[in-house]
Amino acid sequence: MEVRRRFQPRAPGASPSHVGGARRPSAAPAARIQASDALPLPIRHTNLLFSAFFVGSLVFLMRRWREKVRSSIPLHLLGLSEIFAIVGLIASLIYLLSFFGIAFVQSIVSSHDEEDDFLLSGPAPAAPVSSPPPAAICPLLCADASAPAPQKSPDVTADDEEIISSVVAGKTPSYALESRLGDCRRAAGIRREALKRITGRAFEGLPLDGFDYASILGQCCELPVGYVQLPVGIAGPLVLDGRQHYVPMATTEGCLVASTNRGCKAIAESGGATSVVLRDGMTRAPVVRFPSARRASDLKAFVEEPNNFETIALVFNRSSRFARLQGIHCALAGRNLYMRFCCSTGDAMGMNMVSKGVQNVLDYLEKDFDDMDIISISGNFCTDKKPAAVNWIEGRGKSVVCEAVIKEGVVKKILKTNVPALVELNMIKNLAGSAVAGSLGGFNAHASNIVSAIYIATGQDPAQNVESSHCITMMEAVNDGKDLHVSVTMPSIEVGTVGGGTQLASQSACLDLLGVKGASLETPGANARRLATVVAGAVLAGELSLLSALAAGQLVKSHMKYNRSTKDLSKSAS
């Protein structure tokens, strides 16, 4: 999740926390720092404890003072129990006020932030009564003059009709429908109807009903008008680390699921695959500028000093119970310093979490380095959603190796080829061919096919397919040249099982199928790591199958069979 706005440069004399008099941008659009993140206990328990304390003290004092009034004892003569009750009352009041008060203030502040964002990037704001016609408001949408006249839907109520007309006229901003109506489904329906009238397009194939629009509000998608349907196929069982996984893949590419399924079968019949997670850490690299390269190097030396690192880690880790800073990798470009923070993030993919931690550290560093100009919380040395050698070499998210030994008989029977042909093809195509192409992390046949399909099915961020698909596939003949050792090494698989799209109904069902839904109760992060190994295992299966098809010269034939369907299902199943 990239941060879109650049930090304001500091005005001379401005206080560190209010740079240039402007409000600090939040770490990421969806990043909401909650007071609860600072607490060591589960928040529910702490809240219950203090609420009970508050009510108990209050009831005790009321009763006590009623007795005193009745027996004419002065109220200011306090017994020990009353003093305890008053202290308890004040302490719990302070806790409850600061906890709920901060959350309340944050909700107001963040809702204002969101409003600003929408104003920057959303559709036209409310126009005066004499607003121009729709075509002038949205020239791009209305560019097609040949569009048919807008059709009114028959089931639009009078109330809705008024709002739709107001949206079409530009008087009601489309982005504000959810908050004004308090009904997400109705808001989506009205926006859709307004869009229909503005564009003259019916987009009937895009369904509206059958989706929980409340579940995406403020989290997954803005300005919804419907949802895209994608088929989900199942490959498996993928036998990995002694467990069976049925792998959900959302794709419209014919052959992909069938091919991965064939690879899974070859792995299973050879006794299964094994995996190892080498690293687990999400990164974010802000860029800061100094008056000179020397000053930039001073900060580099400061953060690299082990004692300072400990303090920085304490500041960073306050962002969440799950964020634990692992290291900071610094690089200079002239007087600009790029600090690549790496931290574990539990079962979350972790971009929000790491961004919050980085923001804490920048606020802290500003106090000692007052000539530091924060250019951006993301300086692209992270590197998120762009091909970059740093991810390939250092890793990002989970770094996983997955391997299997495929028996000679299985290579012949299921993969319809032989071991020397596979080894040779892998060397000439995946290694030499990718080297000729100057590839960056692309030493594989089609890792991104499998990564993208699983990411979409399980609610991951599909844009992170860029670095998550970095993969080198190795094949060697083993056991006297009879069997095939195959492995995939994937240094930057960025996945989570909480947060983002993982909580949506369909995606959550797919995670559940894999047995990795939500947060791991035993070991935070275990579910996300297991999901990363499943991704690598499925890539292993996909590599095996596609390379085998290429080696056997079957690729075009099988694509003709699955992509140019004759609807003869018995053929496909064979």
Catalytic: 561? no
Determine the Cα–Cα distance for residues 323 and 314; give it in Å rounded to an integer.
10
268 contributes a contact to ligand ADP by CB under 6 A: no
The dihedral built from the CA positions of residue 430, 431, 435 and 441, taken in this order, carries a sign that is positive
Contact criterion met (CB below 8 Å) for 172 and 163: yes
Pick from 26, 261, 320, 399: which binds ligand ADP (CB under 6 A)?
Answer: 320
Catalytic: 522? no
The b-or-e profile of 258-284 (16+ CB within 10 A means b, else e) is bbbbbbbbbbbebebbbbebebbbbbb
Least Å distance between CB 462 and ligand ADP?
14
Residues 6 or more apart whose Cβ sits within 8 Å of residue 541: 235, 238, 260, 261, 262, 263, 264, 266, 267, 450
Report the residue number, 280 or 373, with the smaller CB distance to ligand ADP. 280
Contact criterion met (CB below 8 Å) for 349 and 284: no
Least Å distance between CB 350 and ligand ADP?
5
Report the residue number, 352 or 360, with the smaller CB distance to ligand ADP. 352
Determine the Cα–Cα distance for residues 470 and 138; give it in Å rounded to an integer.
40
Return the closest-CA partner of residue 419 out of 474, 327, 482. 482
Element containing residue 274 per DSSP (H, E): strand 274-284
Q: How crowded is residue 563: how many other Cβ atoms within 10 Å of its Cβ?
A: 10
What is the 3-state secondary structure of 38-94? Answer: HCCCCHHHHHHHHHHHHHHHHHHHHHHHHHHHHCCCCCCCCCHHHHHHHHHHHHHHH
Element containing residue 24 per DSSP (H, E): none
Catalytic: 559? yes
Residues in 353-372 at the binding interface with ligand ADP, rule: CB under 6 A = 353
- Catalytic pick from 178, 280, 384, 461? 461
Report the residue number, 281 or 346, with the smaller CB distance to ligand ADP. 346
Least Å distance between CB 220 and ligand ADP?
10
- Catalytic pick from 183, 253, 269, 371? 253
Q: How far is CA 466 from the centre of its chain?
A: 14
Return the closest-CA partner of residue 319 out of 17, 1, 8, 31. 31
Report the residue number, 320 or 489, with the smaller CB distance to ligand ADP. 320
- Catalytic pick from 196, 245, 385, 446? 385
Determine the Cα–Cα distance for residues 172 and 245; give it in Å rounded to an integer.
49
Selected range binding ligand ADP among 118-126, 146-154, 340-348, 445-453, rule: CB under 6 A: 340-348
Report the residue number, 219 or 292, with the smaller CB distance to ligand ADP. 219
Return the closest-CA partner of residue 366 out of 102, 28, 20, 39. 20
Catalytic: 113? no
Selected range binding ligand ADP among 348-356, 404-412, 417-425, 552-560, rule: CB under 6 A: 348-356
Pick from 178, 280, 347, 366: which binds ligand ADP (CB under 6 A)?
Answer: 347
Binding mask 495-534 for ligand ADP (x = CB under 6 A): -x-xxx------------------x----x----------
Least Å distance between CB 378 and ligand ADP?
14
Selected range binding ligand ADP among 285-293, 345-353, 482-490, 504-512, rule: CB under 6 A: 345-353
Q: Give the chain's length.
A: 574
Binding mask 439-478 for ligand ADP (x = CB under 6 A): ----------------------------------------
Least Å distance between CB 345 and ligand ADP?
6
Residues that bind ligand ADP (CB under 6 A): 320, 322, 345-353, 496, 498-500, 519, 524
Q: Which residues are catalytic?
A: 253, 385, 461, 559
